[in-house]
Chains A and B, each alone.
Chain A
Amino acid sequence: MSSQLITDNAIVKDEWVTVIPPEAAKEVRKQAGKVVMFKLTGEDSPSEDQINATVLPESGKILLPLKVYLKNKDALKDRLANNEIGIWVDTHEEIESFKSEINDINQFPLIAVRVGKFADGRIFSIGTQLRIKFQYKNDLRAFGDVLRDQLFFLKRTGFNSYLIREDRDPHDALLALNDFSNPYQGAADNSNPAWKRFDRNQQGSD
């Protein structure tokens, strides 16, 4: 089976169709810090035009940009109840600002975060917030520039699903999930720090 998707420590077939809005007419400077804080872009990404131009597959499980979902919320009601709707955000988007429009975050069987560049570590805070602050319980996926060496960190910040970049071997990436056996700090995957997981007074170094 050829699949780039790892979910829960195994390579699995992707049941979801990821819907990507058409390219913006002109490039949006989304690499900047959060748009909201620095007002660097002055425009939203995806833009209203992009949202309107996005074509939704008529059946099956679809992973939609958050804003596309919100725009079509009423029409998608039944499919949501049917567990066919997932949402995704870019790392510059703030889930918090849309919280009022989503009554229950756990109604989505899948939430995904797209990371544009390996070095963009915002994805780790977004995962942590989803798990700890918003108490999201279902599948959490990373896609985009997802490579082996992010995986351990993604796992620890609450992601259980990783779509490995097309040109890399997911079998190779899978190995990274076990890079470290006993990390020091508590995080989204295991909230207890090492000193609560082990009796460190009993551990000898020799």
Chain B
Amino acid sequence: MYKYDAIDQKLVDERVNQYEGQLSRYLNKELSDEEFRPLRLQNGLYIQRHAPMLRVAIPYGLLSSVQLRKLSLIADKYDRGYGHFSTRQNIQFNWPMLEDTPKILKELALVEMHAIQTSGNCIRNITTDQFSGVTPDEIVDPRYVAEIIRQWSTFHPEFALLPRKFKIAVTGSKKDRAIVQAHDIGLEFFLNQENKRAIKVWVGGGLGRTPILGSVIKEDLAWEHILTYCEAILRVYNLYGRRDNMYKARIKILVKALGIEHFRELVEQEWKFIKDGPNTIDESELKRVASFFTDPPYEKHTQNKINDHLDNKLFKQWLDRCTHSHKNKGYRSVTLSLKANHQAPGDATSEQMRLVADLADEYSFGEVRVSHEQNLILADVQEDNLFDLWEKAKSKNLATPNVGLLTDIVCCPGGDFCSLANAKSIPIAESIQEVFEDMDYLHDIGEIDLNISGCMNACGHHHVGHIGILGVDKDGSEWYQVTLGGNQGNFASIGKVIGPSFSAEEMPAVITKIIGTYTAQRHLDESFIDCVVRIGLEPFKVSVYGAKEVKS
């Protein structure tokens, strides 16, 4: 993975000093709340319900075991012994003291980490496929371009105070695991007709209050132009995006208002002046950054030890659900589920973090990844070691074989922590997980994405969940709206609302009815989402609301 040189390290160290100064000016009342707000947000600091929340960047979801141990130490020393991995591959601490935040940042800087631009109206953490570099369906490894974009976007002076937040995702595989179409800019690598690395550029996608999938602004952009082209897009957005109404300030609203044709024209006009300019990436810089993302020294020989354990039903279940095919023979990628029952989705205790760091050192070249589904991944595990790894992971509740299944719920922190939320989301996830405890039944239901957001900001990505749950506020009480038919990946779609919302108590029964309808109606081997697409929403509505209600 990428290692800081003196330039990277100095920038992060200088940032800590700058932030420390800003905080002390705020505490000395030289800065008002309003003036400090954009400054603290650009450093991932929210003022939340109970305490400030600090969001730490995990660039494109990549962590070393050393970094993960540091996060566990911060969780113990400055928080309550746990952290929350978010849908944007970051980690959030919910209980730090405001005065401690510079100390936390200093600790992070020691292991090449920071909280730069994890919030605020600027370019956020670049996200990508959690299986980059190891997945067999990869065309171009997106990590090094993600790193180049990370550097370019860090303290980009022109885009420091945009109309609204700005999210960029990159994918380089046939199967899109980074939801590029739901980002302000989505970059999809492919090899063009001349067999050169090229990028399909999507713009104006986003979830939130107004979910819209992105439009293609450029079909075939040569990779070296990626920074200048993004610069042109962002300049047009910065100048023309709405600033009068924060709910209409995302780039998706601008793209929609102008139409993609007109928007593209404006971008091309700006691009003319900077195309081929100094920010054009050259081969040598690409080579330098790419050299950090080479293959680890894979073991060539396998003893097929795994065969000794295939009759262990629980192990086999885990193997099927939580390990993924790897480009290298004899290796698998492993997902450690952070979705055990009675644990808030995406939360990991400091003890769990330490174990994962140890497992990474022992079995996966000291590297860990965070997925946008809020799980942790060991990308390069030899098949011979899978059984040992499984037993160790089980000891800290990290081997629930539910990855991709109903209880692998994607969920924001919700009303328990977040001051933006209309409703709680974690207890809804827990109540659903409790109803679906039977692993055999879960496996029988098969692959299904359930996403929960506590408000329309959609941090739980509920719009692209096969089943989406959105917390809404009705006259001061918490209600839940259900959508069906959302999807991520190459066939991304936005889910449709099935009808009036439900109380928290009703939710487990509602999900049970939806699943019941699916299992009754499905064809052999038909997945939930395929079934929804085939039979439509009607049968589900009838099962949930009753035939009479639906008709009226």
A interface residues with partner B (beta carbon < 8 Å) = 29, 31-34, 37-38, 40, 118-122, 124-126, 128-129, 132-133, 147, 149-150, 152-157, 179-187, 191-196, 198, 200-201, 203-205
Task: Write the B149-164 contact mask toward A (1 if CB under 8 angstroms, else 0).
Answer: 0011111111111110
B243 interfacial contact with A, CB 8 Å: yes
Given contacts A124-B161, A198-B7, contact A149 B39 (CB under 8 A): yes
Task: Establish whether residues A119 and B6, one from each chain, have CB atoms under 8 Å apart when the complex forms.
Answer: no
B279 interfacial contact with A, CB 8 Å: yes
Give the CA-CA distance A116 to B375 in the complex, in Å: 44
B10 interfacial contact with A, CB 8 Å: yes
Give the CA-CA distance A170 to B157 in the complex, in Å: 21
Task: Establish whether residues A184 and B240, one from each chain, have CB atoms under 8 Å apart when the complex forms.
Answer: no
Task: Establish whether residues A181 and B39, one from each chain, have CB atoms under 8 Å apart when the complex forms.
Answer: no
User: Chain B: which residue is nearest A156 at the CB level?
Assistant: B157
Partner among B244, B273, B279 whose Cβ is within 8 Å of the Cβ of A193: B279
Task: Establish whether residues B11 and A205, one from each chain, have CB atoms under 8 Å apart when the complex forms.
Answer: no
Task: Establish whether residues B11 and A180, one from each chain, have CB atoms under 8 Å apart when the complex forms.
Answer: yes
Partner among B4, B155, B288 whose Cβ is within 8 Å of the Cβ of A184: B155
Residue among B8, B11, B157, B240 with the highest chain A CB neighbour number at 10 A: B157
User: Chain A: which residue is nearest B122 at the CB level?
Assistant: A121
Count how many pairs of residues, one from A and one from B, have CB atoms less than 8 Å apart in the complex.
Answer: 143
Task: Establish whether residues A186 and B241, one from each chain, have CB atoms under 8 Å apart when the complex forms.
Answer: no
Task: Establish whether residues B279 and A184, one from each chain, have CB atoms under 8 Å apart when the complex forms.
Answer: no
Partner among B18, B152, B240 whose Cβ is within 8 Å of the Cβ of A34: B240
Given contacts A38-B242, A182-B11, A201-B288, contact A33 B163 (CB under 8 A): yes
Given contacts A33-B243, A200-B7, contact A184 B38 (CB under 8 A): no
B interface residues with partner A (beta carbon < 8 Å) = 3-11, 14-15, 18, 22, 35, 38-39, 112, 121, 151-163, 227, 235, 238-244, 254, 257-258, 270, 273-274, 277-279, 282, 284-285, 288
Question: Within 8 Å CB of A129, what residues of B?
Answer: 235
Chain A to chain B contacts (Cβ below 8 Å), 9 pairs: A38-B242, A124-B160, A133-B270, A133-B273, A181-B10, A183-B155, A194-B7, A203-B5, A203-B7
Partner among A153, A180, A205 whose Cβ is within 8 Å of the Cβ of B5: A205
Task: Establish whether residues B244 and A33, one from each chain, have CB atoms under 8 Å apart when the complex forms.
Answer: yes
Give the CA-CA distance A149 to B120 in the complex, in Å: 14
Give the CA-CA distance A203 to B4 in the complex, in Å: 9
Give the CA-CA distance A1 to B153 in the complex, in Å: 39
The interface residues of chain B, by DSSP majority, are classed as helix
Residue among A33, A132, A147, A153 with the highest chain B CB neighbour number at 10 A: A33
Task: Establish whether residues A31 and B7, one from each chain, have CB atoms under 8 Å apart when the complex forms.
Answer: no
Partner among B10, B227, B238, B285 whose Cβ is within 8 Å of the Cβ of A182: B10
Task: Establish whether residues A180 and B155, one from each chain, have CB atoms under 8 Å apart when the complex forms.
Answer: yes
User: Chain B: which residue is nearest A201 at the CB level?
Assistant: B288
Given contacts A125-B238, A191-B278, contact A120 B288 (CB under 8 A): no
User: Chain A: which residue is nearest B157 at the CB level?
Assistant: A156
Give the CA-CA distance A122 to B235 in the complex, in Å: 9
Given contacts A32-B244, A132-B273, contact A121 B160 (CB under 8 A): yes
Partner among A38, A185, A198 whose Cβ is within 8 Å of the Cβ of B151: A185
Question: Within 8 Å CB of A29, what residues of B?
Answer: 244
Question: Within 8 Å CB of A125, what residues of B?
Answer: 158, 235, 238-239
Question: Within 8 Å CB of A155, what residues of B?
Answer: 157
Question: Within 8 Å CB of A132, what residues of B?
Answer: 273-274
Question: Within 8 Å CB of B157, what residues of A?
Answer: 124, 152-157, 183, 187
Question: Within 8 Å CB of A191, what residues of B?
Answer: 277-279
Report the minimal beta-carbon distance from B153 to chain A, rounded to whole angstroms. 8
Given contacts A32-B244, A34-B239, A180-B155, contact A121 B121 (CB under 8 A): yes
Question: Within 8 Å CB of B258, what residues of A?
Answer: 37
Report the minimal beta-carbon distance from A180 to chain B, rounded to whole angstroms. 5
Report the minimal beta-carbon distance from B391 to chain A, rounded to whole angstroms. 36
Residue among A129, A157, A183 with the highest chain B CB neighbour number at 10 A: A183
Give the CA-CA distance A149 to B31 in the complex, in Å: 11
Give the CA-CA distance A33 to B254 in the complex, in Å: 10
Given A195-B288, A205-B3, 16 extra CB contacts under 8 A: A31-B244, A33-B163, A119-B121, A119-B161, A120-B243, A153-B158, A155-B157, A157-B157, A184-B152, A185-B152, A185-B156, A186-B278, A187-B157, A195-B282, A204-B6, A205-B9
Task: Establish whether residues A122 and B238, one from each chain, have CB atoms under 8 Å apart when the complex forms.
Answer: yes
Question: Within 8 Å CB of A192, what residues of B?
Answer: 278
Partner among A121, A128, A198 whose Cβ is within 8 Å of the Cβ of B161: A121
Task: Establish whether residues A181 and B152, one from each chain, have CB atoms under 8 Å apart when the complex forms.
Answer: no
Task: Establish whether residues B14 and A203, one from each chain, have CB atoms under 8 Å apart when the complex forms.
Answer: no
